[in-house]
Amino acid sequence: MTHESTAVGLASAYSNATTASGDWWRDAVIYQVYVRSFADSDGDGIGDLRGVRSRLPHLARLGVDAVWLTPFYVSPQADGGYDVADYRAVDPLFGDLADADELVRAAHGLGLRVIVDVVPNHTSEQHPWFRAALAGEPGARERYLFRRGRGADGSLPPNDWESIFGGPAWTRVADGEWYLHLFAPEQPDLDWTHPEVTAEFDSVLRFWLDLGVDGFRIDVAHGMVKADGLPDIGRGAQATLIGTEPLPFFDQDGVHEIHRSWRRLLDSYAGARIGVAEAWAPSSERLALYVRPDELHQAFNFRFLTCPWDPGAMRTVIDESLSATTAVGAPTTWVLSNHDVVRHVTRYGGGPRGLARARAAAMLMLSLPGSAYLYQGEELGLPEVSDLPPDSRQDPAFRRGRRQQIPAPAPTPHPTVIAPRDGDPTRPGAGTGNGPEAQVCCGPQAGADIGTQAQAATGPEARACCGPQAGGPGAGTRPQAATDCGPAPEAQGQIRPEAEAGIGPEARACCGPQAETGAGPAPDPLTAPEADGQDGLRDGCRVPIPWAGAEPPYGFGPVGSWLPQPPEWAGLSVAAQTGDPHSTLELYRAALELRRAMPGLGAPGAGPSPDPSGMRWLPSPDGVLLFTRPGFACTLNTRPEPVELPAPGRPVLSSAPVETDGRTVRLPPDSCTWWAF
């Protein structure tokens, strides 16, 4: 027989017992909405909060438990909103505070919880605190990490720390002092030893909790505390060390007291409000410290995202992740894509092969104990858009360049007024350095039509993304723009060139550095690229998603979209896939329905236990993973050819047609199948 799904009609109105209780987060499926690319309500080509609200029924029908919204606060948008100028206000680009309130209420009405980003490691340079610091107001600099420089004249940075985005992590201001920015210069790091910083963020969290949000995704949760004395590291390429070695600016023990205080604050509110750490640590054991019973509820498990398409590697990541979190009584989280990484259809090879692997990986993820995160559009099988024209790119890293010292601004009666946005000709560096010569060879990535599953080839000869890297700035220079905050080797999931991302040695998530060649004029001081910075081509995963229609913008909004959508995406829209039993959208819907209905899926039990999930690996042929949970089995065939083995039960869902006579099964290549017994 050939079998794909028997999920329809099996699910109850509620998810597993833990989800229906106060521990909803232990097995929650949380859907990431990149606000500017989800739905546009006002016709400016940019997604907004009203647009998100209008599309919430799609998420309810999909079967997720919660929505995570990327930053929508007042911001100059130098780093995609992760440079916040006002933590208590909605940027007019996305709406207003009433829109946020209505969105939360509408989500709750559909049974969806809402998680929002909080960015505590740094503010925007346009934040009133930093403007006051530059203006010389007494005590204002104590909220940030200002230091005198080294050398006889103080012209050298205070230490050898490097920005995650390339170049030094210090910028010199007009009076000669330097300030620390582990990310973009537009994102000065806060000093969390200052009591006003602690009090301010307690107030910010309460503001949004009082509005009704259900929790926070904490950006750079490992970064707020720096080692005493800010010691030198003594080596370069520091971004490559993150998550592998101890560093004086990340994963310091002091961050845990901050998270404990936030846990107490969250627990003071009814409804099980949660904190989710975006944290990098040198080991699974160090990462597990962030989710101890008195700290945060979840921490992103990026090791699963970066794992290659290899059964041995996958099993190791799964075992080590479960072991570390089980030891502290916390659930593990699983994620395959987000707004900073190449979409996993493309990472897994692109074309029909990449789509088959992506579908199988999603089913594997949703069968594991713990909580899963979905990135918008992955339920449609969207590939990376790797052929965007240079003049359409919006990733700030694509325009990064040098800037001179920051002049001290004059005091202003309205300190929260923000600078012009990227693309405004009045903003320094806008529109410069983006010609065809700035783009490195990226082959086009065609979309995957569900009916034909025909895509452009993206094998060894084509890379998922490329980007130029070049020489670095001198001391005291300033990059004009940077990328979303988050650590390398995965800045909020951004895989560095050194990290293979799920497709083996033949391809990588991002290409390695490209050498500048040829003679020519000296680089413009506003457009000279930074050393070791991110490639600036993350726009490919941020292209607005298709909802309906035969041509762009596919129902995204009344007119166009801030990034162009491929013409072949008509077959990938929500409308085109709805009702097609072979579509990726219906596969996700069926998987989430079964996840709710089958008692063997979902969360591990609370508290330390040798095997809280009841998960057990069984012997299987080379290239195949086989494990069971109570009343449930999962098989994953990673091989490029079919594999026969004894049927572990009755098939209930498969990412590709499965042939079985009830005794044996022939697993298709690059497929995952769920079984009931």
What's at 586, amino acid-wise? E
- One DSSP character per residue, 254-285 reads THHHHHHHHHHHHHTSSS--EEEE----SSHH
Measured CA to CA, the distance from residue 299 to residue 296 in angstroms comes to 8
In a 3-state reduction of DSSP, which class is residue 247? strand
Measured CA to CA, the distance from residue 396 to residue 81 in angstroms comes to 11
Q: Enumerate residues 6+ apart whose C-beta is below 8 A from 615.
A: 322, 368, 369, 627, 628, 629
**Active site residue ranges:** 219, 278
Q: Cα 430 vs. chain centroid, distance in angstroms?
A: 26
Quick count: other Cβ atoms within 10 Å of Cβ 614? 15
Using DSSP bridges, classify how beta strands 643-646 and 664-667 pair: parallel, antiparallel or unpaired.
antiparallel
3-state helix, strand, coil in the chain (%, to 5): 25, 15, 60
Measured CA to CA, the distance from residue 22 to residue 591 in angstroms comes to 24
Q: CA dist 414 to 85, 86, 88, 249, 592, Å?
A: 12, 12, 15, 33, 48
What's at 313, amino acid-wise? A
Q: Exposed, middle or buried by CB within 10 Å (0-12, 13-18, 19+), for 341?
A: buried
Measured CA to CA, the distance from residue 300 to residue 493 in angstroms comes to 9
CB 476, CB 169: distance < 8 Å: no
Measured CA to CA, the distance from residue 182 to residue 185 in angstroms comes to 8
Q: CA dist 431 to 401, 434, 665, Å?
A: 12, 7, 57
Tokens of 321: 């992740």
